[in-house]
Amino acid sequence: MASGTFAESGADLELVGIKKRFPGFTAIEHLDLTIPAGSFFALLGPSGCGKTTTLRLVAGLEDPTEGSILIGGKDVTHLKPFQRQVNTVFQSYALFPHMTVLDNVAFGLRRRKIEDPVAKAHEALVLVELDHLAARKPQQLSGGQQQRVALARAIVNRPALLLLDEPLGALDLKLRRQMQLELKSIQEEVGLTFVHVTHDQEEAMTMADTVAVMNKGEIEQLGAPQDLYELPRTAFVANFLGQSNLFTGHVASTTSNSITVDVEGAKITVPTKRAQRHKGEVTVGIRPEKLHLHKDEPKKAAGINSIGPGRIIDVSFSGVSTQYTVAVPGLDNLTVFQQNTTFGPIAEEGSEVWASWDVDHGFGLEDDPGAAPRFPADTDTATIAVQKRRALKSELEEA
C-alpha cells in the first residue's frame, strides 16, 4: 500500500496451489481458495491443521513452498508484509503500554504520514465505542476494551484485508459472545474483507458468512455455517462442528428419494439428496438435538427412523438442555440433547428408552469407511526428533 493512501474497500483474496513445508512436516498439503471482497470469512480447524500458517502466508510472515497469493487481483506472493494491503489483529493485543489509547490508534497513520491522524483515530474509536477512553493507557482498560483498541488500530489503516488471529481467545465467555456480535457489526459497517482464524466452532458460525473447515493442511468442506452444520460431507466435519451420531452399514435398499442402510439389523433411512454415497458400505448420521427419546417403543411411521431399545448410562444437565448417553446393543453409544422445557430430566440413568428422528434430518457422508487417512500425520515432535537424530548421525558419519 502506498504511503498516505487508504484502500477504497475490501479486496478479494485468492490462494492458488499453496503448499507449505517445514523441516519434518507438511503444514499445508494443497490449498486453492477464493475469498470474495467484503466478506467475513472464517478458517476453522483444530491445532496443527494449517489455519494459522495460512494466515501468516497471507500476511507475508511466511513464504509458500509452492503457489501464489493474490489480493485484489495483484500477486503479492513475494511482497514484504508492509507492502501488502493487510493488517492483523492478534490475540495478544500488542498495544504500546506507554502510549494513550488515542496515540496507539493513531500510531500507524502518523508513520504513513496520513493527513489528520488524530481525527481519523477518534473516528475509529467511535466505531468501537471507546472514544470516551481515548486519554487512558492500555493497562487502565479491561481485556475486552484492549481488544477493541487493537481492532480500531487495525481498522483505522483501512486495509483491504483484515486478518483476525484468534482475537477473542483471551476473553471470558460472556464478553467473547458480545465481541462476536460487535465484530460482525463493524465488518458490515466498514465493508472490509475479514479473514478470521479460530478453533472455536461457535465463534466461526456466529460471525462468518462463509466457513472453511481445515484438516491436515487441506480444506475439508467450505460453505455457509448452517449448510456445514446441517449437511456435513465428512466424519471430520460432522464431529468437529458440534457432535454427531454416526452409523456405518451396507445400503440394503434404495428408492428414487432415499437409501436405507442396515446397521446391525436396524434400518436407517436417509434422503438421497442428503447422502453423498448411495451404494456399498456407507456412514450416515444424525445430530443429537434432532433425536427424541421414548420410554415405550414408538409405532412405525413413514418418514421416521427409530433405534432401540437402549439404556441410559449418563445424564448431564447443561442449563438449556440435558445430554443423555444411551447404550444400544451392537451400536456405538447414542448422544441425545433434549431441551429443558420441563423441570428435571425426562428419563433417569438406567432407564430403558428408544430414540427416533425425522428421516429428513439425517445425512450421509462421502467418507469411505475402510479408507486410510489422506496422508499420515507427521507433525508430531517424535517424528521431528527422529529425523533430526538421523540427520545428525549422517553428519557425524560423514565427518
Residue 272 to residue 276: CA distance in whole angstroms: 8
Min mean pLDDT across 122-126, 132-136, 189-193, 260-264 is at 189-193
Examine the domain organization and report whether 197 and 341 are in the same domain: no
Query: Which CATH number covers residue 273?
Result: 2.40.50.100
Q: How many domains does one find in the chain?
A: 2
Residue 98 to residue 104: CA distance in whole angstroms: 9
Q: What is the pLDDT of residue 168?
A: 77
Examine the domain organization and report whether 86 and 130 are in the same domain: yes
Question: What pTM did the predictor assign?
Answer: 0.79
Residue 376 maps to a domain: no
| pLDDT tens column, 205-251 | 888 999 999 998 889 999 999 999 999 999 999 999 889 999 999 99
Residue 234 maps to a domain: no
Residue 392 maps to a domain: no
- Name the one residue in this structure whose C-alpha cell is 458468512: 209
Q: What is the pLDDT of residue 386?
A: 43
Examine the domain organization and report whether 100 and 220 are in the same domain: yes
Examine the domain organization and report whether 182 and 297 are in the same domain: no
In sequence order, what are the residues at sequence separation of 6 or more whose Cβ sits closer than 8 angstroms to the Cβ of residue 319? 340
Examine the domain organization and report whether 36 and 165 are in the same domain: yes
Q: If you average pLDDT over every residue of the chain, what do you get?
A: 85
Domain closes at, from 229, 256, 272: 229
pLDDT at 393 over 70: no
Residue 313 maps to a domain: yes
Examine the domain organization and report whether 216 and 264 are in the same domain: no
User: Residue 111 has which C-alpha cell?
Assistant: 508513520
Examine the domain organization and report whether 204 and 267 are in the same domain: no
User: Residue 82 has which C-alpha cell?
Assistant: 508492509
Q: What is the pLDDT of residue 150?
A: 87
Examine the domain organization and report whether 166 and 260 are in the same domain: no
Examine the domain organization and report whether 289 and 340 are in the same domain: yes
Residue 372 maps to a domain: no
Residue 382 maps to a domain: no
Q: Which residues of 319-356 are buried (b: 16+ CB within 10 A; e: fewer)?
A: eebbbbbbebeebeebbbbbeeeeeebbbeeebebbbb
Domain closes at, from 229, 263, 278: 229
Contact status, residue 141 vs residue 133, Cβ threshold 8 Å: yes
User: Residue 135 has which C-alpha cell?
Assistant: 486519554
Average pLDDT over residues 9-36: 89
The model's confidence at residue 378, banded by pLDDT at 50, 70 and 90, is very low
Range of the domain at 328: 243-364
The model's confidence at residue 387, banded by pLDDT at 50, 70 and 90, is very low
| pLDDT tens column, 162-186 | 898 887 776 777 777 877 887 888 8
Min mean pLDDT across 63-67, 81-85, 234-238 is at 81-85
Please give the helix or strand (H or E) that residue 143 lies within, else none: helix 143-155
Q: What is the pLDDT of residue 379?
A: 38
Residue 117 maps to a domain: yes
Examine the domain organization and report whether 187 and 264 are in the same domain: no
Closest alpha carbon to 258 in 247, 246, 267, 266 = 267
pLDDT at 338 over 60: yes
Q: What is the pLDDT of residue 174?
A: 77
Closest alpha carbon to 219 in 29, 61, 36 = 29
Examine the domain organization and report whether 65 and 87 are in the same domain: yes
Query: Which CATH number covers residue 41?
Result: 3.40.50.300
Residue 395 maps to a domain: no
Examine the domain organization and report whether 320 and 210 are in the same domain: no
User: Residue 137 has which C-alpha cell?
Assistant: 493507557
